[in-house]
Structure 1
Amino acid sequence: MKLEIGNFYVKDVAFGNETKFENNVLVINKEEALNYIREDEHITEADLIIAKPGENVRIVPVKEAVEPRIRPDGRPVFPGVTGDVEKTGEGRVHALKGVSVLGVGKHWGSFGDGLIDMSGEGAKYTLFSQTINICLVADTDEEYERYEQQKKNHAIRWGSHRLAEYIGRTVRNLEPEEVEKYELEPVTKRSENMQNLSSVVLVMQPQSQMEELGYNDLVYGWDMNKYVPTFMHPNEVLDGAIISGSFMPASSKWSTYDFQNFPIIKELYKEHGKSINFLGVIMSNLNVSLEQKKRSSIFVAQIAKSLGADGAIVTEEGYGNPDTDYIMCIAALEDIGVKTVGISNECTGRDGASQPLVTLDVKANALVSTGNVSEIIKLPPAEKVIGELQALARDGLSGGWAYDEILGPSVKEDGSIIMENNAMFCGDRIAGWSTKTVKEF
């Protein structure tokens, strides 16, 4: 399978009379775009607001991030979501780089929603302080979940995907500045030189714990709670086969933007044929019961062994209960002789002194941490808030609270905030973006 991603680099975004991309500037006809979004009858209020790096702007509650893209051949960018189920991972897709579409609640937040600061101390915690963000700020008629801590956020999340595809149309028939090419030979048809390199597989564990459908990540529009570990081509991940769900606390989340640009996959591609033989992706899942977790680890180990993997990287979307799947999978791979590295965040408590993962195993002896979800963060007021700041305190965002007997409320009267790292949108960058490091004292 050969995938070409044609990149168009966006230097600025503005509203204007015509939606177009010209001279590295994306112009959006705001009313036309909003009319397109309002075709979903469940969206009752909607606005588009542009947030740029360096602005004194705070965005909350953020539910989703999507890179604007389009396929010149007319296939949907997100099969099973923005159109019929079609194959991904080959052909050409055009991408607008340096910009993202954010789905933002106009009022109501949720357990899995997060916060983005576009400047100042808070900007270092999330990749999306570095992108120009087209914020779809919306409210919906999904009143049955309005006061629920855990929301599906269906209309806003899917509206974000539709808007990203709508904006992507601006470059459908243009020539990209750069074309990235991703191609892997069939596993059994590779050269002798390639076969002599260490064979490596990436094991991904997207969020799929919720047994009630609608909260989990989707693969080709299919709820991953119904999924079992499967060998996938990495191009499918980069090409819209998987979209983010609404369940996991924000700092641990893989947004759709993360899947579209998954850095670990891109790094493995760079080393393919040089230092490693990149076999592909074992797409696993995260489960609820111990029996389900064990079954998935057996599947993963069997696939890796059948492929002839010498090494593996395992990365999980989340923490807490998913740590069991994560560690069990690493141990199962080590048991069959596959040397395995794990990548995850950790939950060591506000004082940093607790056990980092819910469960551990001596076989999991090569772990990469992307940070502590419980780290306390204090940030000054922002000049402008997109969305509703009080959602951080009021609506059960993981990392925010209405009142703490020691720390008081998350949102102070002057607009400053105190929160756990949990609430930073995609803040731990488990997909491989992380710039965090360790300092020993």
Structure 2
Amino acid sequence: MRLEIGNFYVKDIKFGDKLSFDDGVLTINKEKALDFIREDERITEADLYIAKPGDKIRMCPVKEAIEPRVRLDGRGLFPGYTSELAKAGDGVLHALKNCSVLVVGKHWGGFQDGLIDMSGEGQKYTYFGYLNNIVLVADTNEDFEKHEQQKKNDALRRAGHKLAEFIGQCVKELAPEDTEVYDLEAMIKRSPEIEKLPSVVYVMQPQSQMENLGYNDLAYGWDMNRMLPTVMHPNEVLDGAIVSGSFMPVSSKWSTYDFQNTPNIKALYREHGKTINFLGVIMSNLNVALDQKERAALYVAQIAKTLGADGAVVAEEGYGNPDADFVGCLVALEDAGVKTIGVTNECTGRNGTSQPLVTLDEKCDAIVSCGNVSELIELPPMETVLGELQSLARDGLSGGWAGDEILGPSVREDGSVIMENNSMFCGDQVVGWSPKTMKEF
């Protein structure tokens, strides 16, 4: 498969008369964009905002992030989800870089929603604090979900994905500033020079724990709870075949933007033919019951061994219960003779002294930590809040609380907050964005 991504670098965003991109400036006709969003009758309230690095803006509850793109052949960005089912990973698309569409709840949040700051101390905790963002703040008539800790947020999430497609149309006929090419040949019959290099697979474990449909990550629109581990071409992941779900403590989540740009995949691509023979992606899942976890681990190990992998990189979306899937997969791969590195966050408690993963094994001797979900974070008030900050405390966001006998409420009267890293939107960035560094004391 050969995927070409033509890049357009967004330096500024503004509202204006028509949707356009010129000399780094993205202009959006706000009313036309909102009319498009309101075509879904479930959307009861909606507004658009612009949030740029350095703005004194706090957003909460943030639900999703998507990179605006357009496919030149007319196919949809997310096949099987926002458009008819079609093959992803091949062809040409254009992307607006340094830019994302963020979806924020106007009122109601949940366990899987988070916070983004565009400046100050909080900015450093998320990748999206450094992007130029089009922010959709909306509410829906899905009243049955409002007081639920877990929400599907289907209308809001689909609105964000469709808005990203709508905005991407403005660069369809333009010449990109540069082009990324991802061209990976079939796994077998490669040149002798490549085949003599160590063969490596990238194992992704997207969130798929919820047995009720509608909460999990999607593969071509298919709920990943219904999947067994399988082989995917890395281009499919970069080209919209995987869509983020609404389940998972938010610092551990992989947004759709993360799938579209997975840095770990791009890093393996860069080393292909130089230091490694990058075979591709084994797309696994995360399960609830122990036998399901064991079955998936066996599948992953068998696939890796059958493909002739010498090494594997395993990345886990989540923590807690999914740690059993993660560790089980690493052990199964090592038992099959595949040298394995794991990438995950950890839950070591607010004082950092608890066991980092729910389960451990001595064979897991090479793990990259992307941070502690329970780390306490205090942030001063921000001038502007998009959404409803009180949702951090009221609605059970994974790192917030209504009251603590020592710390008090997460949201203070002056607008400052104290919370766990858990509530930073996609903050741990296991997919490869993480700026965090391990230090010895």
Q: TM-score range by the shorter chain?
A: over 0.9
Q: Partners of 1:227 and 1:14 in 2: how far apart?
A: 42
Q: How far has the Cα of 1:166 moved from its partner? A: 0.2
- Is 2:146 aligned against 1:151? no
Q: Partners of 2:183 and 2:56 in 1: how far apart?
A: 41
- Number of positions where the alignment pairs a residue of Structure 1 with one of Structure 2: 441
Q: Partners of 1:294 and 1:104 in 2: how far apart?
A: 37
Q: Partners of 2:50 and 2:289 in 1: how far apart?
A: 43
Q: Partners of 1:427 and 1:288 in 2: how far apart?
A: 24
1:131 equivalent in structure 2: 131
Aligned-partner SS, 1:382: coil
Deviations 1:321-375 (A, max 9, x none): 0000000000000001100000000000011010000000111100000000000
Q: Partners of 2:348 and 2:187 in 1: how far apart?
A: 40
Aligned-partner SS, 2:188: helix
**TM value normalised by structure 1:** 1.00
Give 1:190-229 correspondences, 5 Å limit.
Answer: 190-229=190-229
Could you tell me which runs of 5 or more consecutive residues in structure 1 were left unpaired when the two chains were aligned: none
1:72 equivalent in structure 2: 72
Moved over 3 A (4+): none
2:350 equivalent in structure 1: 350
Deviations 1:111-146 (A, max 9, x none): 000000000110110000000111100000000111
Q: How far has the Cα of 1:185 moved from its partner? A: 1.1
Q: Partners of 1:249 and 1:160 in 2: how far apart?
A: 20
Deviations 1:152-207 (A, max 9, x none): 11111111000000000001111111110001111112001111000000000000
2:53 equivalent in structure 1: 53
AA paired with 1:103? V
Aligned-partner SS, 1:8: strand
- Is 2:8 aligned against 1:8? yes
Could you tell me which runs of 5 or more consecutive residues in structure 2 were left unpaired when the two chains were aligned: none
Aligned-partner SS, 1:187: coil
2:310 equivalent in structure 1: 310
Q: Partners of 1:122 and 1:66 in 2: how far apart?
A: 21
Q: How far has the Cα of 1:407 moved from its partner? A: 0.5
1:390 equivalent in structure 2: 390
Aligned-partner SS, 1:294: helix
Q: Partners of 1:80 and 1:418 in 2: how far apart?
A: 40
Deviations 1:88-115 (A, max 9, x none): 0010011000110001000000100000
Q: Partners of 2:80 and 2:30 in 1: how far apart?
A: 26
Q: Partners of 2:76 and 2:440 in 1: how far apart?
A: 48
Using the TM superposition, name which of 80-89 and 339-348 deviates more: 80-89
AA paired with 1:50? I
Q: Partners of 1:153 and 1:406 in 2: how far apart?
A: 33
AA paired with 2:223? D
Aligned-partner SS, 1:297: helix
Between the aligned residues of both structures, percent identity stands at 70
RMSD: 0.5
Q: Partners of 1:328 and 1:53 in 2: how far apart?
A: 40
**TM value normalised by structure 2:** 1.00
Q: How far has the Cα of 1:80 moved from its partner? A: 1.4
Aligned-partner SS, 1:228: coil
2:42 equivalent in structure 1: 42
Q: Partners of 1:186 and 1:440 in 2: how far apart?
A: 43
Q: How far has the Cα of 1:282 moved from its partner? A: 0.1
